[in-house]
Amino acid sequence: MREPQPSEHPKWFGPSALLTPANLVTLARIAAAPVAFAMMLDNDGLGSWGLLVLWFVLAATDFVDGYLARKQGSTRSGAFLDPLADKVLVLGGFITLAVVGRFPWAAVILTIVRELGISAFRSYWGRRGLSVPASELAKWKTFIQLGAVGWTTWPTFTDWRWLSDSWLWASVVIAWVTALQYVVAGSRATSTTGESVKT
């Protein structure tokens, strides 16, 4: 008898599952995020080793919940919670560092406007049956955004503002490039009659 291929093994959880290991990791990321923001405020945006470790764990576990979801089965709740956790970390970190004067408000506002606009765009087309998946560049965007905050948490590089600022502005450029990609992909996925089609 032919041995089943890895992709043929049944998943542990169905699409409607809620309390999966992947979702629990994601919820833990969201719950711990305010602790990191409070530490940034207490330190006036300066790095500390405790904050560095916490932020590294929060950023790295983004890969953990993704791995668990692929291995054990993707869920609709996970598809909602995972990007939500990324937005909480990125926007919360950006806003906190802007409040203490470490990040320029212009970059933060551009990021917020982009995230709100694309979220509305995807929601609009999602209700009409159109799927606009994230591009590879969009996945790198999140990494660079988390990295921009991460450099400020690292005591060795706290005074190297050019380093965190360069990552910050690079993330802004990539964010708007990927926003254009979403709009173009959405336009190409519609029929000539203006009705959406699934991709």
pLDDT for 32-66, tens place per residue?
999 999 999 998 777 899 999 999 999 988 888 77
User: How far is residue 61 from each of residues 15, 30, 31, measured CA to CA in Å?
Assistant: 21, 11, 13
Q: Are the C-beta atoms of residues 115 and 91 closer than 8 Å to each other? A: yes
Measured CA to CA, the distance from residue 112 to residue 53 in angstroms comes to 26
**How much is the pTM?**
0.82
Under 8 Å between Cβ of 190 and 130: yes
CA-atom Rg of the chain in angstroms: 19
The predicted pLDDT at position 188 comes to: 67
Nearest C-alpha neighbor of 59 from the set 28, 88, 29: 29
Q: How large a percentage of the chain has pLDDT more than 70?
A: 77
| Per-residue pLDDT, 139 | 77
Structure tokens at 193: 């009659």
pLDDT of residue 199 exceeding 50, the answer is no
Neighbours of 40 (CB within 10 A): 25
* DSSP symbol at 118: H
44 φψ region: left (φ > 0), alpha (ψ -120 to 50), beta (else)? left
pLDDT of residue 49: 94
- In angstroms, how far is CA 41 from the centroid of its own chain? 22
* Residue 190 binned pLDDT confidence (cut-offs 50, 70, 90): low
Quick one: pLDDT band at residue 2, thresholds 50, 70, 90? very low
Round the average pLDDT of the chain to a whole number and report it.
Answer: 81
Q: Is the pLDDT of residue 6 over 60?
A: no
Res. 13 pLDDT band, cuts 50 70 90: low
Alpha-carbon span 1 to 134, nearest angstrom:
39
What does DSSP assign to residue 132? -
Per-residue pLDDT band for 193 (boundaries 50, 70, 90) equals: very low
Return the ∠ at Cα 93 (arms to 41 and 64), rounded to 5°.
Answer: 125
Amino acid at residue number 171: S
Provide the 3-class DSSP secondary structure of residue 10: coil
* Number of Cα atoms under 13 Å in the Cβ half of residue 100: 19
Residue 73, pLDDT score:
65
Instruction: Using the predicted structure, report yes or no on whether residue 7 has a pLDDT greater than 50.
Output: no
pLDDT tier at 165 (50, 70, 90 boundaries)? Answer: very high
Q: Which residues pair with 196 in a beta bridge?
A: 190
139/2: higher pLDDT: 139
* pLDDT over 70 (residue 21): yes
The confidence band for 121, taking pLDDT boundaries of 50, 70 and 90, is confident
What is the mean predicted confidence (pLDDT) over 61-83?
A: 75
Q: In this structure, what token pair is assigned to residue 173?
A: 């450029």
